[in-house]
Amino acid sequence: MKKIMIMGNWKMNLIADEVDELLSGLKSYPVKAGILAGAAPSYTWLLKGQEQFAETNWQLAAQNVYVKEKGAYTGEVSAPMLKSLGCNYTLVGHSERRQIFQETEEAIREKIAILLAHEIKPILCLGETEEERNSGRAEEVVARQLREGLAALPKGTKLFPIAYEPVWAIGTGKHCDPQTAADMMVFIRQELAQAQQQFDLSELLLLYGGSVNGKNFQGYLETDQIDGALVGGASLKAEDFIAIIKVAEDFLHE
């Protein structure tokens, strides 16, 4: 049975005491069967995450990774380091990294490759800008990001979560209307089904990201095209994040 994933992207937020409070709030909520709930703290807090989430069903994710195994790359963090901290997922290609840090498609491909080599599941993020949507190019942009991001993967690769995050909906409070997001998921599934590499889609999860909260999440699940959410702002308070998880639990048990 497919699961519903709710992953929190904390971005560059929270200092030590706030992290302790948030992690203990999350940890005190038992994640139920059918739900994959997790958090992607800054690198600085991954060890705390590992300690707090030990012996729980909470998943730990990183927000980034460097493309080399080890060596003279001051300031960077490797996939083996993430693995040793108990990370089972890592975000790749978030629009903030593409836009602010000029992350290229080549870097995204390399990050996916090194993560898979260390048995960490990438969560590949894609999505169009407002200008691209308004000029009718949303599908073209998403198809290109998908094709380029996955281009180096061998035939039959088992795909990992992919998050459709329209850039104009991230952190703006202007969430994408569920039907529009669902249409893009249908499009992404079609593109993947037609890919030359004949991917294994058995564990594919398509997440929506962009101003998700406990009030609007149900609408996405009801489309039956969306397998979960990548959540920014509403992941920074345990009660807000747990409210989203509860929506998923209710949906599963309806």
Known active-site residue 106: no
Phi, psi of 86 (to 5 degrees): 85, 15
Nearer to ligand PEP, 12 or 33 (CB): 12
- Ranked by CB distance to ligand PEP, the top (closest) residue is 232
Known active-site residue 165: yes
Contact 62, 92 (CB under 8 A): no
Contacts of 51 (CB under 8 A, 6+ apart): none
Annotated catalytic residue, options 132, 165, 175, 249: 165
Site for ligand PEP in 168-207 (CB under 6 A): 170-171
Site for ligand PEP in 88-127 (CB under 6 A): none
Q: What is the DSSP string of 119-188?
A: T-EEEEEE---HHHHHTT-HHHHHHHHHHHHHTTPPTTPBP--EEE--GGGTTTS-PPPHHHHHHHHHHH
Q: Name 62's bridge partners.
A: 90
- Each residue 209-248 as x (binds ligand PEP by CB under 6 A) or -, in order, gives xxxx-----------------xxxxx--------------
Number of residues that bind ligand PEP (CB under 6 A): 13
The catalytic residue positions are 94, 165
User: Applying CB under 6 A, which residues contact ligand PEP?
Assistant: 9, 165, 170-171, 209-212, 230-234
